[in-house]
Structure 1
Amino acid sequence: MLKISEVCCEDEYDSMKNYEKTPVLMKRAPFWSGAAVQNAKLVNISMKDFINKYMVLIFYPYDFTIVCPSELIQFSDRFEEFQDLDSELIAVSTDSQYTHLAWTTTPRQNGGLGGMNIPILSDKNHRISKRYGVLDEELGVPHKAIFIIDNKQILRHVSTSDMAISRSVDEVLRVIKACQFVDKYGNVCPMRSPCDDDTCESKNTKDND
């Protein structure tokens, strides 16, 4: 089990060079912390709050837009499926925590998010977006990106996309299941849905032979 003392800290990351490049897979994920909105309240959260859990960082460009809310609402509405996998979702943009608060307290029929089940982190100083290599310097906003970090805070999956392209909740769940399958059984995850009954039974049988 990972200890808090083993988590990369702010000072350690500030001393590193070239952290504006996309982080390297299978290495320790860049540390992050900041002000956020959670359960309609302003809070401070950090990577250390999610120790020994899988984390999904969902970078998006703007609050109060058409595409971003539909994606975030889908992730929020299905948060229990992620919790069943011992995983947590954190949305991130360069809007302030106050803008996040206004967005989450605006009813959905009026263009807001309404009640959300996941925290929304403010990266107003662009530090997190730079560390994860997703900041559009000209616009001052992050590209759409998904980072999956495992329970040892190792970066396991990265996907970035054009701002106009939507993202799939099912695909993110599939990748987490695949990572956890590999964590448990090692080697390469089958192409089929990870850890379905046939796959797991087959693997267990081989292990017991």
Structure 2
Amino acid sequence: MDIIGPVRGSMAMAFAQSLTGTLQWTVRSIVAAETLFSSVSRIKDYIELIEQEPPAINPNNRPPEDWPQEGKVKFNGVCARYKGDEKLALKNLDITILPKEKIGIVGRTGAGKSTILLVFFRLMEIESGNITIDDIDISKIGLSDLRSKIGIVPQEPILFFDTLKENLDPLEDFDDESLMKVLTLVGLEKKFNLDDMVGGGAALSVGE
């Protein structure tokens, strides 16, 4: 029977502990690498499978700077469907909205009321037909040119945790005088200042 001396025994124990730590580190590294590669694989799938948005600007077809002047909107035989659905959400929709005209769209759940808004902002592309604003086909122009000219007031208003000014004019397109005129028009000029923090709207009523 071979007997190992205390020196060699101590060295063997030290190397064994070191080897155990190395194996643990190797296993952790392999697991971490596998997790990271899973993320890379998903990113690759998104890049290859998700349809890209149309360009923000179409240099070959830009609307006039003062477009739209009147605001006449026409839906001409518009058909649209959601991905994966066989049934059309909008089928041969024909609507003409005259300048300054106010309309109401009513219908049961799933009738396509929200879809009209989606195709109008081109958050959803139509299958056939066209939509025009002042006789310009909105599918032919860039998304930025379209969306910068139209606006939406949601049922549940969303405010940022910032000043009233930043919420009214996040892109800084208007001066303070113009913004105060807006507050005056809605009767809030005495209650709020442009530098007031709105806190995401927690202290405001829905009407305000």
Asked if Structure 1 and Structure 2 have the same fold, meaning a TM-score greater than 0.5 normalized by the shorter chain, the answer is no
> Which structure exhibits the higher relative contact order, with contacts defined as CA atoms closer than 8 Å and separated by 6 or more residues?
1
Give the TM-score band, short-chain normalised: under 0.3
Q: Which has the higher strand share?
A: 1
Please, what TM-score do these two structures have when normalized by structure 2? 0.24
TM-score by length of structure 1 reads 0.24
Q: Which has the larger radius of gyration?
A: 2
